[in-house]
Amino acid sequence: QAQMSTFSAGDVGLTMDDCPHWLKPRVEAAFARALGSLRPAEIPAEEGGLVAQRVRIHSLTGRADLNGHHGWVVRFSEEKGRYQTKVESDAGESVLLRPANLEVAADSEDDSPALTLLDVFKTVSGARRNLFHQRALDWIDRWQMVLCDRSRQNSAAFRVTHSMQNDDRHPGRAALLGLPTSDRLLDDLAENECIVQFFAVWGIAERIACWWGNRSHARNQLAEWYEAEGDFAAAEPLYALVYEQSRAGSPHEAASFADRGHSPIRERCMYINNYALCLKRQKLYARAIQLYREAVKMPGCPPVIRQNLAQCEMQVNKPTVGHVTYVPPEAAAALKMTDEADSAARDRIKELGNDAFRRSRFDEAIRMYTSALAVDDAAPVAEKATPAERSKLLSNRAAAAYGHDDYDSAAADAATATEIDPSNAKAWYRLGLAESFRPLRGQPRDPAVEALLQAIELEPDSGLLRSSLAEVQARRTKEEEQAARELPPNAIDIGACRFGDTPLGRLDRLVGTEGLEAVTANNGWLRGVYEAAALWHTGLRDCQAFRRAGVDVRREAMHKLPAGSAQWAAGTGAGRELFSVRAVDVLRPMSDAVFRCDEADICCPMLAWLEGKQYNNVQTMHALNGLGQLLRSKGAIIDIAITSPESPTKPPLSDAELCRALLALDLTKPDECEKVELTLRFGCLMYYVMQRLAQSSEDEEGEVGGGAKMLFLLIAYLKRILSVRNLCVYAAHRTLAGGARVRPLEQHVAEHQLCATHQLFLKHGDAAASVELMHTAIAALRASGDAAARLARALEESYAANQYYSAALKSTRLPDEAFDEGMDLRQLESESSLQTWLLWAAEAFPRDPRFLMKLATHIYGLAVHGLSERCVELPGERRRVAPTVADAHRLYLRAAELAEASLLPPSEGEPPPTAHLPVRYWWEAANSLAASNGSDSRGVELRRVRELAARAEAATAMLRIFNIEEQRNQTNTAVKMVLDATKGRLGTQKLTRAEHRRLTRDVLEADPHTIRQAVAKYYADAPQRPVPKRMAGLPDVGPGWIPGAAVPKVGEAAVPRVG
């Protein structure tokens, strides 16, 4: 006997009223099939075939009063040949009637199909004839078993859809995968609905629970079928139905989960995940994010939900702005966020935007506010926002744009907001802030000041408004003073560029007065700066011999003359022996200068003083162009340029030609070793110069359209340099280290050409073994003669790899629209491929701390975001782990130790390594330690944080000799705030992550403007270091002791200045 249980008649999902309208016809048809199977219609009426039928009584003579009434046939009496019929009347009497007095009638419309089916089942199973009783039992078992078997078969078929990408989902895909038809799945769903309602009317809680879960499963299967066909809109209501009924919290659903041994929270989270994924595939991100956030609030939410939420938020937080020029967010049609159009949806999406803004996710906030405005545009008149509400939306979007330093868009939105609602003080305030960072365009009155005055008029008691006005007025005064000294375009203010007032000039004076050894005795980084500057100035001085040839190259390119014609006419052809120095003796010092110190901008200035003369950046560029022309004409380097005088859009060597040349290298020949070495050196040197020029051009012109184009070209050039490097390592592996040819790798290069950088492993498909073989190949080069050893040192230089990561990371933050249509964006890295690339670089260049630091920063960001999926790899570990702040701290610590090691004197016979300033690494290590919560999750001892901060302070002393203050950034400010707040506590006491977050929230988690204000506020009372007076009245003739020996102290014999 089945256990009986009471239930609420209004329980969601148990009646025909709760059935979706589009499914009701199929459910009614399923009930009709069930009734047909259960009733013994094939048995003649004279033998009991009318059992469980609703009948109409007619032709009675003795009881004529019953004629025309309807009744229910309960059983058949074989002895009397009559039917026991229960008459539908107030009396409800039961009579025995002959078959001739009964005719089959339609079932009662007052009863639900489920109730009718239950009456039939009970009647048939309760009949005294064994035939009828067994028929009922067989029917109910068969009905359930057939449906269960088919559901299991469908589940196996649908597994292939779980890993399908969106591009693979299209009409006809279900048939190709061998999935059941939609009609079959709809019928199965209708049958499940029938069974649930049948047992609900019967009141058997155990069976209701079982089939409740089966029905949800059938709904999900039908939704998956629609998704396989790419019809996400059809799948959405099915997922929504499962989700809504799950939210209702039916006890039958809870019993279903318990019967299957499933966690209710997990199952409901997965229902939400299915629904949200369907919305996400339709780009209805606002609704999807709401669902995911609802799920992550549940205790025990599966990690995959958090991961999907993070991915969804990444989609809406994709860059909407460039570094200088604004790129508007996608139109509502391209990124709908939602398909709703009412005031409730507008307010809900606005709150999502507010939440994103509070978390400094400005791209996401911009999209949300834009979507809310689009919803308001599409809403009916009665649902539209009031002027004040719409003004707030525009003002909020202006704040988000301002947070991105996108002042043009912020000003435009804020101005529109003030037009709609002139009483919106926040809009006037944001308009003033945005206008304060925009250049004045001949307006008689300053729009920033005017806007802030208007805001103060609306809110006269606001101290924030008055302080902002004072700050803007002070900045405008400073700008006016600078404008009074403005020079014509492209001119160089020599007076503002006095060498003696630069950091390098101060170092030069110290070396001249104190001596080199005294200045750099305990400061390896300062020695690296000095040595790099000496190499740069020596090489740049000698490079001026090639400047005329560089001018000719420039003239040929501008006037599209044949290569060499201008040089020949001027008598400066690179093919003639007109130079007093060897090009190689110029290239090596200049490239070594770029490699020697991590702050090449200090050591290698484009504006240089040489032997009392000043050379600007244009003259320096002409000199390097002439150097390159000489090297190419002599065949001393491989031409890896990305353009040529003959064709500004095509390189001299195509990708395929360059790959063939590199794969054919024979590094047993010294000439070929030197050729590749000089190619790498010249490529890095030219990239440094191009990057400096592009940087100054962006700073002066402030346009990102051109900036994106230049960035694309720089990335393409770096990719060529890295490909030369990696294919040269492969050649060394094959020709010197005794490695076999790697056919898959060569085929990969032939197919992808220069699209590959870190993919060029020596052992195809085995990254770990490939890195080891890479170092083995370079070691073999180092032992194969002087030329090969010089090439090995060039291969170990990480400058190009470091610059490639920085440029590629910058490109991921630009929208696709910033690049020209003719650019192949597939050449750019994605965020995921860049993470893999960074791991490769950290292992390929193990002595460079910058890659470890960048990898640590990436892991720290993921950990702070709360991502718990195994999504990162650590150097030396070929397995994915979940990101933690502790892992980031270990990497920061390793990076700091590498930076310190780079400052030690090199071993005898070894070239000095790149000098890295350790201060930034120690601050990051201290901050990550403070945020790590300790190994026992109870906090970290304060003494350990203080020790790392002390090492950072000691490293800062390396800068003070230049009179350069340490960079007042988020990290060191956060650490100092923690130390100040805990200075009264014992070192053995612990600092928890929660306390660290509370103390540093304003400088680590706020929007950029708030962070700047918080940092400035922290240092407002700090004592300022005195700025040395300018060298007024003294001739500024450039370095006196860079390069060259230190001059003696006053009173000793003078040493002639060389430089």
**pLDDT at 855 exceeding the cut of 50:** yes
Confidence of residue 220 (pLDDT cuts 50, 70, 90): confident
**232 against 324, higher pLDDT:** 232
Give mean pLDDT, residues 1031-1056. 44
pLDDT on residue 730? 82
Interatomic CA distance for residues 414 and 1010, integer angstroms: 19
Give mean pLDDT, residues 118-123. 70
**pLDDT at 403 exceeding the cut of 70:** yes
Q: Which residues contact 873 (CB under 8 A, 6 or more apart)?
A: 839, 879, 880, 881
Interatomic CA distance for residues 419 and 435, integer angstroms: 16
Give DSSP secondary structure letters for 547-580: HHHHHHHHHHHHHTPPTTHHHHHHT--TTS---S
Average pLDDT, the chain: 76
Highest mean pLDDT out of 262-266, 558-562, 697-701, 980-984: 980-984
Confidence of residue 763 (pLDDT cuts 50, 70, 90): low
| Phi, psi dihedral angles at 327 (to 5 degrees) | -115, 115
Which pair of tokens denotes residue 651? 């390189």
871, 874, 872: which is closest to 306 by C-alpha?
871
**pLDDT at 531 exceeding the cut of 60:** yes
Please report how the helices 583-596 and 670-701 are oriented relative to each other, as an axis angle in degrees rounded to 10: 60
586, 548, 540: which is closest to 567 by C-alpha?
548
Which pair of tokens denotes residue 632? 């190419």
Of the listed ranges 178-182, 905-909, 922-926, the one predicted with least confidence? 905-909
Condensed to tens digits (0 to 9), the pLDDT of residues 175-218 reads: 878 888 888 888 888 887 787 777 777 776 777 677 777 888 88
Instruction: Tabulate helix, strand, coil % of the chain (nearest 5).
Output: 60, 5, 35
**977 against 335, higher pLDDT:** 977
- H-run or E-run covering 8: none
509, 602, 522: which is closest to 1046 by C-alpha?
509
**pLDDT at 396 exceeding the cut of 90:** yes
Give mean pLDDT, residues 790-794. 91
pLDDT on residue 762? 53
Opening angle at CA 901, ends 897 and 906, nearest 5: 170
pLDDT on residue 152? 82
Highest mean pLDDT out of 14-23, 248-257, 332-341, 595-604: 595-604
Give mean pLDDT, residues 542-561. 65
Q: How do beta strands 940-941 and 608-610 pair?
A: unpaired
pLDDT on residue 326? 32
Interatomic CA distance for residues 27 and 8, integer angstroms: 22
Give mean pLDDT, residues 1052-1059. 33
